[in-house]
Structure 1
């Protein structure tokens, strides 16, 4: 591919963007460390190349023409991408160091992220990882977190959200419980069973169980004598010891289902899921320690689901 832009043209584009942002050839020259005449020549060179006026000039001011505004927006985007490309190349030669602070729900931490962290640290041995395992919402700024993983993340313009997975839900019980209490055949049968509940610590609201019935989504607020709050894994421990029925993420019970210590219940009504999302603050510069973690997690998520 032959060259489309020589060094002079690229320099002229940078000075053009600077003049558009500063609103003055003189201010742009001062910021760039060149003379106002050099800025003026650069703009004229671009206008001749493009065959159009980029600025409307008076003796006291300049303003972008309509064509100049469109050209500026695309040039600024292209320059920003070049800066980002250089940063990424430089950072690939760096080593992640310092402390990475991440907040993860207990379930996702134990069954998805924590098992991966030794491999991540092997790649980045100078990194220290501070892990907050909780379902409590955190404040990125006040508490100094780099990233968080959350279920059903709410839209927030200050945060970047990267989907990780839609985690399938499953309803389980021990064979002993089902022999004792019977196996439910319909969703209405759940009213006759011991249904282990989880209560959200932030709101005190009990989590509904999610099902598909006759092609329609259905939510059921089941009842029972066991209610766990804060740590969803409390319900997992209870169901493994025959306390009743419990619905949560399939990835928690994969081994239990494989070896038969737990049985999936109401399988014809299954198929629902909940989304997990990686969140981190919106900003032009992402610290290398965080970029390394994001790339690693997105690489590993391809093996989930």
Structure 2
């Protein structure tokens, strides 16, 4: 086999990936325990070898060029495979380590994931977690994420989809709002109410409300003068302050329902749910840090299911 890299070149690739992840030569230097000038020289050697510009440099920031972004994705995957190969060769004795990048929607992030992250961090202290909480869809190849949690299975066949849970939906309002506007008894009554809307960032479409009617699931487009974009939890805050009715995940309003701050309505049409699905790219060698997090999350949801 012909040798393509020497130790200096492999080190330069590692420094390049550090700089790409932090968008800073200084931060990469701090992480590596060297000077920013040494990082700059290493990346300069790479750019000279490749004959391309990997970073666009200004007086205030550095950012990856289009070529640099594509090169980073390949290098990151290759370095991850090297780490995994070392782990397997050493009998799997090394602890999971490295940066785990995860994208989750706001309700799941706040009410499901954040409450259980600390036990994972204590079990795997060498894993660094970058958590992206947003209802916008991410692109694994372009954005460099390891995992994502979404509400539907994508059409991309290159992604592995693992079902986490079916989250029950419930329509809620404050008692004060119901005293003022009346309590809906039929689905048709929703037309007479302020129904707080949420608009999907990916499509610009308002999310329909879902109900069970005579054993079948139906979706209804409601209307109201307030629409929340980006953050689904903004609708819950609005409803808690008397803005109207909202269909939310039961787990996101459970405390308010128990305390009486919110009241459930149209319960006889309830029982519908929406799924949460764990997604990740198909890979022959999954990095250890990703595998242990996937196992951790699946075990957590199995425990949730048994507790119900």
Write the mapping of 1:1-305 to structure 2, written as runs, cut at 5 A. 87=88, 90-91=91-92, 93-304=93-304
Q: For 1:123-153, what per-residue CA distance to the aligned partner results, in whole angstroms no more than 9, with x for missing partners?
A: 0111110001111111112211110000012
Q: For 1:50-103, what per-residue CA distance to the aligned partner results, in whole angstroms no more than 9, with x for missing partners?
A: xxxxxxxxxxxxxxxxxxxxxxxxxxxxxxxxxx9x959933x32111110000
Per-residue deviation at 1:216?
2.2
Task: Identify if the C-alpha distance between structure 1 residues 203 and 223 changes in structure 2 by more than 3 Å, giving closer, same or farther.
Answer: same
Partner SS state of residue 190, structure 1? helix
Aligned Cα root-mean-square deviation (Å): 1.7
- State the distance in 2 between where 1:157 and 1:94 align: 32
Per-residue deviation at 1:226?
0.6
- State the distance in 2 between where 1:166 and 1:89 align: 40
TM-score (norm 1): 0.70
Partner SS state of residue 90, structure 1? coil
Per-residue deviation at 1:214?
1.7
Task: Identify if the C-alpha distance between structure 1 residues 208 and 297 changes in structure 2 by more than 3 Å, giving closer, same or farther.
Answer: same
Q: For 1:16-39, what per-residue CA distance to the aligned partner results, in whole angstroms no more than 9, with x for missing partners?
A: xxxxxxxxxxxxxxxxxxxxxxxx
Task: Identify if the C-alpha distance between structure 1 residues 284 and 174 changes in structure 2 by more than 3 Å, giving closer, same or farther.
Answer: same
Partner SS state of residue 103, structure 1? strand
Query: How many pairs are equivalent?
Result: 220
- State the distance in 1 between where 2:167 and 2:114 align: 17
- State the distance in 2 between where 1:183 and 1:203 align: 32
- State the distance in 2 between where 1:90 and 1:200 align: 46
Per-residue deviation at 1:166?
0.6
- State the distance in 1 between where 2:159 and 2:109 align: 21
Per-residue deviation at 1:107?
0.9
Partner SS state of residue 91, structure 2? helix
TM-score (norm 2): 0.69
Q: For 1:172-210, what per-residue CA distance to the aligned partner results, in whole angstroms no more than 9, with x for missing partners?
A: 001111111110000000000010000011111000000
Task: Identify if the C-alpha distance between structure 1 residues 95 and 187 changes in structure 2 by more than 3 Å, giving closer, same or farther.
Answer: same
